[in-house]
């Protein structure tokens, strides 16, 4: 029998209870260390394993040592059911992670985030009757977990649809008022449930109504937000999921869930605010501004387009001293990261100094370009953040823009009427020569014309990025 160590508030604490709490502390430390290690590509893999180890430890000790309110451990039957569910989920996750393309990684992140929100919302929904028998605090965390989890789930699913091209931007003037009404209804019903003196069986309708309204609000919350803001929205929804998980931890009085959720929520919110700063916009402006929702710049064509031949581009690159490659989502679509790295190595052998300029919101999720280039074994030291590379751009012989658009558009400086005005950009326009690789003259997420295309120093190299760079590599090798 488990040895009793003492009694606190009428509850006996055993050796098993102490070991369980200790395991949660160790798991929390592993989460923190893992999160810290994720900040650098060289340690990110080990950081991921540390965090995985912390979660595995918390799950294992919970299965073996957790006791319910009656002092009973989890039954053997339930343990096998839980292990079977973990096995099925792990197998599905493993298969999806192995098969998903890097271009679809943002969609996968949104989908996983949605499952986290759904899990937290379902926990709150199932545990609500029990919470009603407790104090106001128990009801409050349950209601918050339900609202935040449901919003994170439905919002993430809409974000997934937007990223995958299945859901377009829908922005109507009246949608702002609808969203405000839904928000008021959600919060008002949540307060009513929390403070209502009615018995549990009379409040079931309210909790299901709250669940439904929260799901609708999550959809309406994300639907008007344009594609350019998807990295911010994904980060914000990820923060929501973390907070919802923390609420579920409070429901079950599980310290590992609480600490893990707090870490995810805090990290997601910090990242969200940093990206808003990188776009020179407030979080409220992102949520209600519909940036990237199909706005077009007025004025039409701004000048002449100049093209460059592959042979001329190869000569220009080969005899340059300093080149900066600016990657964007187009590089991911073309899956050109590996051939870009080959071009990088080839130019380095010719004595060219090659760097990569990384904008904080390039791609479709935070860190998308960093992950993409890391997959191609590009040294981390070559990835230079926007604020660090911009002062050196006037000294760059050639800026090569591969699939980037809004993050290099000088309209952010020159056009007060532009939706991206004031957004920090990579100063490609200051380079001595500019080569832009694109399939055509398509606009970026913000839906506006890119002034850089018409710059007198710019030359367009049209075609698929992977194919164009492959031909450049072949051309340079023959020189």
Distance CA 429, CA 410 (A): 7
Q: In the annotation, is 406 catalytic? A: yes
Rounded to the nearest 5°, which phi and psi values hold at 2?
A: -65, 125
Which residues does 377 contact at the CB level (< 8 Å), separation at least 6? Answer: 341
Q: How many helices (H) and strands (E) does the chain have?
A: 17, 8
CB 300 within 8 A of CB 332: no
Nearest to 438 by CA among 394, 469, 413: 469
Distance CA 26, CA 324 (A): 44
Locate 318 and state its tokens: 């080969």
Locate 271 and state its tokens: 């990242």
Q: CB 48: neighbour CB atoms within 10 A?
A: 14
Tokens 């402006």 correspond to what residue? Answer: 285
Locate 147 and state its tokens: 């609202």
Give the burial class of 329: count Cβ atoms within 10 A of its Cβ; 0-12 exposed, 13-18 middle, 19 or more buried: buried
Could you say which of 406, 415, 427, 464 is catalytic?
Answer: 406
Distance CA 336, CA 332 (A): 7
Distance CA 81, CA 403 (A): 48
Tokens 């957004």 correspond to what residue? Answer: 423
Which residues does 210 contact at the CB level (< 8 Å), separation at least 6? Answer: 143, 146, 147, 186, 189, 190, 193
Distance CA 285, CA 102 (A): 30
Please give the distance of CA 349 from its chain centroid, rounded to a whole number.
Answer: 36
Which residues does 192 contact at the CB level (< 8 Å), separation at least 6? Answer: 206
Nearest to 224 by CA among 279, 141, 155: 155
Which residues does 51 contact at the CB level (< 8 Å), separation at least 6? Answer: 30, 31, 34, 35, 38
Print the SS3 string covering 247-292: HHHHHHCCHHHHHHHHHHHHHHHHHHHHHHHHCCCCHHHHHHHCCC
CB 277 within 8 A of CB 359: no
Nearest to 204 by CA among 151, 150, 131: 131
Distance CA 185, CA 179 (A): 10
CA atoms within 13 A on the CB side of 10: 2
- Hey, which residues are catalytic here? 406
């Amino acid at each position: 029998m488990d040895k009793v160590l003492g009694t606190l508030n009428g509850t006996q604490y055993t050796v098993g209870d102490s070991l369980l709490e200790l395991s949660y502390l160790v798991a929390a430390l592993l989460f923190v260390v893992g999160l810290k290690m994720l900040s650098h590509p060289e340690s990110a893999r080990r950081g991921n394993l540390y965090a995985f180890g912390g979660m595995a430890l918390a799950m294992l000790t919970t299965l073996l040592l957790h006791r319910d309110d009656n002092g009973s451990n989890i039954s053997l039957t339930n343990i096998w059911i839980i292990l079977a569910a973990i096995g099925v989920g792990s197998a599905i996750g493993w298969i999806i992670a192995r098969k998903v393309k890097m271009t679809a990684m943002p969609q996968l992140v949104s989908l996983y985030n949605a499952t986290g929100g759904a899990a937290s919302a379902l926990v709150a929904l199932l545990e609500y009757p029990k919470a009603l028998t407790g104090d106001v605090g128990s009801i409050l965390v349950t209601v918050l977990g339900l609202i935040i989890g449901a919003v994170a789930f439905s919002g993430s699913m809409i974000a997934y649809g937007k990223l995958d091209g299945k859901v377009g931007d829908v922005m109507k003037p009246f949608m702002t008022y609808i969203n405000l009404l839904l928000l008021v209804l959600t919060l008002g019903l949540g307060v009513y449930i929390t403070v209502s003196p009615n018995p549990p069986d009379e409040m079931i309708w309210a909790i299901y109504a709250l669940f439904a309204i929260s799901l609708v609000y999550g959809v309406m919350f994300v639907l008007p937000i344009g594609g350019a803001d998807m990295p911010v929205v994904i980060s914000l929804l990820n923060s929501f999921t973390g907070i919802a998980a923390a609420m579920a931890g409070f429901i079950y009085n599980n310290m590992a869930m609480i600490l893990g959720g707090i870490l995810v929520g805090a990290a997601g919110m910090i990242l969200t605010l940093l990206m808003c700063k990188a776009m020179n916009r407030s979080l409220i402006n992102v949520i209600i501004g519909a940036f990237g929702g199909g706005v077009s710049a007025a004025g039409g064509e701004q000048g002449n387009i100049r093209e460059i031949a592959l042979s001329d581009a190869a000569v220009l690159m080969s005899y340059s001293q300093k080149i900066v490659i600016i990657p964007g989502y187009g590089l991911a679509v073309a899956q050109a990261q590996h051939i870009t790295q080959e071009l990088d190595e080839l130019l380095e052998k010719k004595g060219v100094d090659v760097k990569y300029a990384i904008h904080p919101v390039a791609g479709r999720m935070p860190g998308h370009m960093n992950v993409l280039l890391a997959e191609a074994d590009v040294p981390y030291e070559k990835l230079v953040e926007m604020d660090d590379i911009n002062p050196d751009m006037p000294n760059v012989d050639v800026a090569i823009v591969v699939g980037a658009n809004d993050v290099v558009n000088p309209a952010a400086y020159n056009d007060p009427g532009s939706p991206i005005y004031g957004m920090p950009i990579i100063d490609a326009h200051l380079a001595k020569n500019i080569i832009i690789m694109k399939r055509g003259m398509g606009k970026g997420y913000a839906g506006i014309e890119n002034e850089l295309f018409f710059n007198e120093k710019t030359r367009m190299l049209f075609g698929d990025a992977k194919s164009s760079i492959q031909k450049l590599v072949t051309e340079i090798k023959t020189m």
